Structure 1
């Protein structure tokens, strides 16, 4: 019989600084069919928010689906304490 010992190692989840986050929005205004216009993907939220303002001015649409994506890294908590 093989004996195994599992040791709990606490991990911290941090944003991966080597990869830029991504921000984007899509217009979901419409009663039966969504508008579907998209902002495009940016590494900062500012251009997406400006696109939303302009799209609302041009169309009167006011409902958006916003997406944020990033990469996460799990590091043993002891590594963070040593840094």
Structure 2
């Protein structure tokens, strides 16, 4: 039996059906982190505004920012007719 394997290049793209999430947490403090949290938003601007206000109110200057999104793997270019990307099941010995 002969098998032909073809390499299919993929590109990672942001999933347009799911909005990204932005957030920040204050990690300022002498003995322990402040831990104030902005919450999650679908754009960075509300998080930046929260950071600005929190700094004004507390003098805290250090934040841990968070960005999360969903990625989709898409084949690059057109696949030949009738050819689909291979799906591999876990092989155990």
Same-fold call, TM > 0.5? yes
Question: In the alignment, which residue of structure 2 is the partner of 1:38?
Answer: 37
RMSD: 1.2
The DSSP-based 3-state class of the residue aligned with 2:77 is: helix
Count of equivalent residues: 78
Question: In the alignment, which residue of structure 1 is the partner of 2:18?
Answer: 19
Q: TM-score, normalised by structure 1?
A: 0.88
CA-CA distance at 1:5 after TM superposition: 3.5
Unmatched 5+ stretches in structure 1 = none
CA-CA distance at 1:32 after TM superposition: 2.0
Unmatched 5+ stretches in structure 2 = 79-93
- Relative to total residues, which structure has the larger helix share, 1 or 2? 1
Aligned structure 1 segments of 4 or more residues deviating by more than 6 angstroms? none
